Structure 1
Amino acid sequence: MQYLDLSYREDFVAVCGDIHGEFETLAFNVVQKGMENAIVIVAGDCGFGFNKLAYYDDLYKRKLHKKLEKQNVLLLMVRGNHDDPLFFDKELIDYPYMKTLPDYTLVHTKGHNILCVGGAVSIDRQFRLSQMDYNRIFGKKRLPLYWKDEYFRYDEEQLRILEIENIKVDTVITHSAPDFCPPLTKGDVEHFCANDEELASDLDKERKDLTRLYEWLIENGHPLSNWFYGHFHASAESLDEITGTKFRLLDIQELAMLK
């Protein structure tokens, strides 16, 4: 488990839904909303991996750094299914105002302990794999459109480190969500399942594993008050009336404050 101590910053924290490579739009929204002295955590599907590292380096230096520096806004990126895990595992994005977080990073701010864990299953993975095969057959040199290790990983060994270090988590940010959170039906996923025999079971496992994460935290006495996620391209709120945990599904580019 990685520990990122930001408690020295006099900041508030905001969470953003998927951005799908629209980094400049996020920076624009930060400026338009007058956000200053803030930590903004993107809940996955940032868009890393569809271009080479040099592209993001150039984008940050030419288009993002000055805006973020002026607002004093730090962007922290959680892994989505539409992200190359290497960018997060190896922390390839590590700039003064934008960083990728490995799974099971604990972000410690002045008022919160925030557990960030990425990953999810792509419902269109068969289409993406087919497109990659097409590119190979016709000699088109393209970067990957899909990563087989995209899924959420439930890792109790990582969680036990919280107990060893006596750290209590009050907020979780993931890309997908526990199985009792919206959306509760597969909806338009059905036609993808028709062409992918294992998709339905993989999606069920993903949501159940995230439920295991939630249950572990509650059973081990973590005062979990907030859980944010993206992935489903919608906006919704729900509440566990027993524990008081608020769950917030964020739409694309939707920003929500962590109080």
Structure 2
Amino acid sequence: MPQVGLSDPSMWDAISADPSIPLDRALVRKILDDQRRLSRRWLYPIARVLSRVIVALVSIVKRVLPFRWMSLGTMDVLCVWFLRRFVHPDAVELLIRHFVVETNLVNFLIRNTPAAMEPVTLRPVTLAGLGDHAVVEHDVNVYDVFIALDGVPVTRREPLDLQRLDIPSIDPERGRRRLLRLDIQTALCFMNIPFSMALTLEEYRRAIHSIRFDDSLLELLAVVCDDDTFRHWKTGALSLRMDSNVDVPQAVYLHALVCEYAHARLVELA
């Protein structure tokens, strides 16, 4: 009897076709293309270990020498220079886009809850926009909105304000000559080093812990929108559990995906 041939599907094609992913197909392809870069396959495993070792050593020494080793301004300059010269433009665009997406999510909660604070304004569209302490500001915005909701009832708001969820045109400086074109995950490994040097131990701990509010953010969105879809993307990262010994670049990448999923659902509701 003739042997029935087995299918030989592509993992990337299957992910791209996954109907459960709520993101725009063009965005999905851009994310997948970034994960398929040579740097993601060959350099990321090395950069991931190297980054964790260096950051751990920095944290240990900072307990003995607890002062700021690098100004936030210097950190901004180094990171923007690195993105301009060593990171693929598509990866840069995805990184800038995350700042806008998270701001849209925070502002949605501010507009649709009794949070006593003004909408945040961090919506960079260029590499230069990642300067001026943008990385620190975007973490602080998350803390501010949760503190502003302390003691106030969060319920379904009628009607929902689903305006201002747009993503502006982003300029990742595609025409600039780059020495390397790293993927975003490898880039995050290298950028985490100056980040750990520039922040105090408490600031660095606060920045890392901001990611643990993702499940809380999804729960608030589910309540305000009366939509269980948001709860499907929870990762089990409870904000009550303090843990700074995490793989920061990997956690940041997952955080960015969770934000993209939540933002895409809001756009769909709109």
Fold match, TM over 0.5? no
The structure richer in helix per residue is 2
- Please give the range of the TM-score, normalised by the shorter of the 2 chains: under 0.3
Higher Rg: 2
